[in-house]
A and B are shown apart, each in its own frame.
Chain A
């Protein structure tokens, strides 16, 4: 039986889909049979970040409605043959995701794959709620910024109060934080909350810290998840997070300011 990991945040634009895509490739690269599912019904985007947007034929809602089989809807990744993507539907019907429908698809995926990654939409409405409800573990993506931290706390509260695991007596969802858009230089200046600050406020441990980096935009521009860019700090940070999610110990990187040269120190920048 596979494990269901939800990538969520409450607030939009913090890097959920970027994170889902990178974690999915990371798990696949580590030999785990992985599927990543886009729960953002109406606003499909994971396919673009994964670079498979032109190969979407059927989607999540098609499977629920029985328009196709699950196998027909799964898009095989071109880079890893143990990685699949299930795209979100672009329907405007808010009720397209039903709890029973999602349960059926999720359980079928769980039987087939080692890791089922659920890419949650922003907000706390049905798509987000269902992505969280079935999860065994949660990666809460958070920016070191007030509204993102507050929304993360709301999401953690929702997961603690209602989940299938808890209802089946398997204990609560295991929670992790993943800090993105982190700038150690700004933390040092006192302009940005630190890893320790965010951990203290939310009472949850950080599983990875991804530095603010232009490589993330380049990666989504080209449809190649940033984890596959081995020159990029952000990619290496995601690879560390994957290793930690698999139970390995890895020291945190990219949390200290980079050493500056003489001229940079004199003139800033």
Chain B
């Protein structure tokens, strides 16, 4: 670092921030890529069925496919509205 650099204030180690952000987004996008094509439709239809009985928010339904060894697990979680 040169003498002149001492007078400049600059954000520190942005490369580390870049790496951390990329590790997260890349992992997320890879799992979305490998998910089956029917997932969005499945999610929409499940939501319609659930809404016949309970008024849930579209964001309250989470459908996820996870690979555990050579098995695929379809995980479904629905957050019900409070106090109803």
Contacts and interface: CB of A to CB of B under 8 A. Distances in A.
Interface string B6-35: 000000111110110111011001100100
Given A190-B15, A190-B16, A146 B4 contact: no
Contacts, number: 57
Interface of B is mostly: helix
A197 B19 contact: yes
B3 interface: yes
A192 interface: yes
Nearest to A149: B22
B68 interface: no
B41 interface: no
A153 B30 contact: yes
B19 A265 contact: no
B22 A201 contact: yes
Contact of B15 (A153, A154, A157, A187): A187
Contacts of B4: 267-268
Secondary structure class of chain A's binding surface, majority of residues: helix
26 contacts: A145-B18, A146-B18, A146-B22, A149-B22, A150-B25, A153-B26, A153-B30, A157-B33, A189-B1, A190-B12, A190-B14, A190-B15, A190-B16, A191-B13, A194-B15, A197-B19, A200-B23, A201-B19, A201-B22, A265-B2, A266-B3, A267-B2, A268-B1, A268-B2, A268-B3, A269-B2
Given A190-B16, A197-B15, 16 more contacts: A146-B18, A149-B26, A153-B26, A154-B29, A161-B33, A189-B1, A192-B15, A193-B18, A194-B15, A197-B18, A197-B19, A200-B23, A201-B23, A265-B2, A268-B4, A269-B2
Interface of B: 1-5, 12-16, 18-19, 21-23, 25-26, 29-30, 33
